[in-house]
Chains A and B, each alone.
Chain A
Amino acid sequence: MKPIDIISFAGKNITQKRTQSLLTIVGIVIGIVAIVSLISLGYGVQNYIQEETAKLGANKIQIFPMKQFGIPPTKLFRDKEIKAIKNIKGVDKVLYGWYGGVNIEHRDEKYFVNMFYAKPSNIKSVYSDVGGYGIEKGRWLSDNDNYKCIIGYGVAHNLFKKELEVGDSIYINGKKFKIVGIMAQVGNQQDDNMVIIPMSSGEELFNKKGEYNYIMVKIKDGADIKKISEDIKDALEKSMGTDNFSVLTAEQMAKSIGGILNVLTMFVAGVAGISLLVGAVGISNTMHMSILERRKDIGILKALGAETTTILSIFVVEAGFLGLLGGIVGLIIGVGIAKLVETIAQNMGYGMVQAWISWELIFGVLGFSFIIGVISGYFPARSGAKLNPIDTLRGL
């Protein structure tokens, strides 16, 4: 029998039992959905983290005045600490300032966004060096700017009904600021939904003087980031008399996110594995039933001169098709879910999270589901192919 005829024969069997075929593939569908969304989003998030890490640099250390986010600081950083850090060997540049939340208002629309202030020359020098930050329109702040601001990509384009432009004015906590620049998209919520103002205006606005809750250190090229982190910790502890602060490298941040991701990956992989197993058992069972129902047909085919391998191929291909069908449906749903999550993530400001959908993924998944079908159909098919035609034609 020609392969094409085997395929059409097997296909006919499936389409003739549509409901049963659909029920059979549910397990495979669930498994493939889990796998596709897992791989596609997993890769997407991994790419995101990798890009973030690469961009925000292996050369960047962030310092916060608390051990954990969400807990208020006991002691803030002062110029003394900045100076101590600057004196550490291998430290290139230090950006320091205040990170907080503000209300911004424009034409009767009011939103709560992130705010960062620091010395303008300091911002420009560090941001253009650590990578990932750029100006889309307008310019960076300069040291003699007062009540001027730079706004993040999201604030400019997505927040207000009418997009904000360079030259527009917004009210930050009630004070009027003129927009001099719009930042290029960074790809994360914190940075894109931010306004940056000069330290002078910020200290007036927040009624602070010489206190900082955020430090970013850029290390010299080729310097040992681990050793510098340790040195910073020692210096800060000595200077502040407390260890209630955290010194984080991009690598550490990526690791902690990656850790959460791994747990999630293992969970989804477990779900996928179980569903695929259930799916395989389902296909195996269906093929077993299908062969029982068609004992007589097997006898007829053999009487007409079908070889054992022909019968085997027909049933194995049929099982493969069931698997493939499950794969196609699962792929469509899985890609749909991945795209949905991507859209939600982008609406939440994580524009860099992109579902990874490629031809490798598509053909890989389809091939995989076909093979699962073939494997689960093989043993029932073999027992069917071995049936004695005399017995089956006698109705035994």
Chain B
Amino acid sequence: MTFIEARNLWKVYGKGEAKTVVLKGVNLKINKGEFVAITGPSGCGKSTFLNILGLLDVPNKGMVYIKGKKTTLMGENERAVFRRKISGFIFQQFHLINTLTALENVELPMILDEKNKIYRKKRAKKLLESVGLEQRINYYPNQLSGGQQQRVAIARALANNPKIILADEPTGNLDSKSGNKIMKILKELHDNGITIIMVTHEQEYTKYATKVVKMKDGEIIDIVEHNKTH
């Protein structure tokens, strides 16, 4: 069953001389429960594609369907609601809020979704526990290592029980040991039925994927289905 479908996505930045066409008619179908890895050289449009799939950005042309719904027609607020209820983002630079503790960072999506305080605290603690940070819940991001920060970010992405995790080079800023830890967590999430779309440079990590999408110069040049069973 097709969960997310990108149809003929175009994205253009700038005008005239400075105009760059970042996506040139991208098509992709993603089924529920898939683990999609997007690879390709730097600057080929992977992040742009991911952001559009996660409704953080909009294409200049084309359409993203989620469960058949034309999301590109949604207003900005409706997309915001989708981001906090259906999807969770993980970034290469972690993007935690530095003035908030680990616990408060994880609470944030639930605060935005108007969950009550007791539930919030309890769930944030549980999530931090599940990524092995029960000792660090009151630490600020600058008191945590990169790997720990990324695990906080994962806990945050999971706060509102998302159906989709969008990860943009989640291991890109980490050493291989921390990177492996993050990948193990993502694999577990996938095993639990969450759809994962991950941009990565590391060939090694594509082994977890059910589908590997290769991009170049704003186009998808290859799609490899792994079809493995867990």
B89 contacts the other chain (Cβ, under 8 Å)? yes
Which stretch in B77-85, B175-183, B221-229 binds the other chain?
Answer: B77-85
Contact A302–B80 (Cβ < 8 Å): yes
Contact with B along A160-176 (1 / 0, CB 8 A): 00000000000000000
Which stretch in B27-35, B107-115, B125-133 binds the other chain?
Answer: B107-115
A18 contacts the other chain (Cβ, under 8 Å)? no
Contacts of B95 in A (CB 8 A): 296, 299-300, 303, 393
Contact B56–A304 (Cβ < 8 Å): no
Task: Name the one of B76, B83, B111 contacting A303, with C-beta atoms under 8 angstroms.
Answer: B83
Residue of B nearest to A9 (CB): B111
Q: Which of chain B's residues 50-74 have a Cβ closer than 8 Å to chain A?
A: 51, 56-57
Interface residues on chain A, size class: 20 to 34
Task: Name the one of B56, B84, B96 contacting A389, with C-beta atoms under 8 angstroms.
Answer: B56
B97 contacts the other chain (Cβ, under 8 Å)? yes
Q: How far is the CB of A10 from chain B (nearest CB, A)?
A: 12
Q: Which of chain A's residues 76-105 have a Cβ closer than 8 Å to chain B?
A: none
Q: How far is the CB of A106 from chain B (nearest CB, A)?
A: 70
Contact A390–B56 (Cβ < 8 Å): yes
Contact A304–B109 (Cβ < 8 Å): yes
A2 contacts the other chain (Cβ, under 8 Å)? yes
Contact A1–B99 (Cβ < 8 Å): no
Contacts of A308 in B (CB 8 A): 76-77, 80
B contacts with A, residue count (CB < 8 A)? 26
A12 contacts the other chain (Cβ, under 8 Å)? yes
Contact A1–B114 (Cβ < 8 Å): yes
Known: A306-B80, A307-B80. A1 touches B91 (CB 8 A): no
Contacts of B77 in A (CB 8 A): 307-309
Q: How far is the CB of B63 from chain A (nearest CB, A)?
A: 19
Contact B51–A304 (Cβ < 8 Å): no
Contact A304–B91 (Cβ < 8 Å): no
Q: How far is the CA of A296 from the CA of B93 in the complex (A)?
A: 11
Contact B83–A297 (Cβ < 8 Å): no
Task: Name the one of B81, B97, B111 contacting A300, with C-beta atoms under 8 angstroms.
Answer: B97
Contacts of A300 in B (CB 8 A): 95-97
A329 contacts the other chain (Cβ, under 8 Å)? no
Contact with B along A174-196 (1 / 0, CB 8 A): 00000000000000000000000
Contact B57–A304 (Cβ < 8 Å): no
Contacts of B82 in A (CB 8 A): 305
Q: How far is the CB of A293 from chain B (nearest CB, A)?
A: 10
Q: How far is the CA of A316 from the CA of B97 in the complex (A)?
A: 20
Contacts of A9 in B (CB 8 A): 111
B46 contacts the other chain (Cβ, under 8 Å)? no
Q: How far is the CB of B56 from chain A (nearest CB, A)?
A: 6
Contact B85–A305 (Cβ < 8 Å): yes
Contacts of A278 in B (CB 8 A): none
Q: Which of chain A's residues 200-255 have a Cβ closer than 8 Å to chain B?
A: none
Contact B84–A305 (Cβ < 8 Å): yes
Contacts of A5 in B (CB 8 A): 111, 114
Contacts of B111 in A (CB 8 A): 1-2, 5, 9
Contact B114–A390 (Cβ < 8 Å): no
B156 contacts the other chain (Cβ, under 8 Å)? yes
Contact B112–A1 (Cβ < 8 Å): yes
Residue of A nearest to B58 (CB): A390
Contact A305–B83 (Cβ < 8 Å): yes
Residue of B nearest to A395 (CB): B93
Known: A296-B95, A297-B97, A303-B56. A2 touches B114 (CB 8 A): yes
Contact A310–B56 (Cβ < 8 Å): no
Partner-A contacts on B (CB < 8 A): 51, 56-57, 76-77, 80-85, 89, 91, 93, 95-97, 99-100, 108-109, 111-114, 156
